[in-house]
Amino acid sequence: MDFDLRPSHFADLELHVRHREAMFKDMDFGDDPGRARMATTFRDRLRTWLSTGEVRGVVAETEGRPVAGALLQFKDALPGPLSVLAVRGYLFNVYTDPACRGQGLARRMTTALLEVARAQGVGIVELHASKDAEALYRSMGFEPTSEFRLILDESIEKPAQWKARR
């Protein structure tokens, strides 16, 4: 199969929402009602981010049909000793339809968005990888960091995926 990459457009909003729901379902993260609530909020935020340019994306297509997508957010960052730049990149929503996996699309989309980040002068790009994707991102030079999380809201259940990390 041949795949073409193109920039994501505002018209791809629902595609990225579907990809986000499918991504979390594939990882067995959350339940259907939780993913539905997430989709509603994500749709509203992504609509704004795409309109303002805070988020850019890429879509992979075959024969004009979108089969994969990825997004890059330009987010405020605190200055630190490594970089005083006020913006970092956050790569997210990297998703490939199951029938098209294993053909390098996640790598191609990530590479394309890293080029966008470099062109914008972004010095650091972060992401949260699923266990299945860790090897890909390590092979591209990403390194795990010392990030920790604390759940303050007792109604939020600690995901099982967190227990297997580190």
Tell me, rounded to whole angstroms, the distance of Cα 43 from its chain centroid. 14
- What is the rounded CA–CA span in Å between residue 77 and residue 55? 15
Give the pLDDT means over successive 10-residue stretches in the chain (166 positions).
95 98 93 95 97 97 97 91 83 97 97 96 92 94 85 80 59
Note the CATH architecture for domain 4-163.
Answer: 3-Layer(aba) Sandwich (3.40)
Within a 10 A sphere around the Cβ of 110, how many other Cβ atoms? 22
- What is the rounded CA–CA span in Å between residue 10 and residue 57? 10
Length of the chain: 166
Global pTM reads 0.90
Closest CA to 93 of 53, 48, 60: 60
Domain ranges for the chain, please list them: 4-163
3-class secondary structure, 2: coil
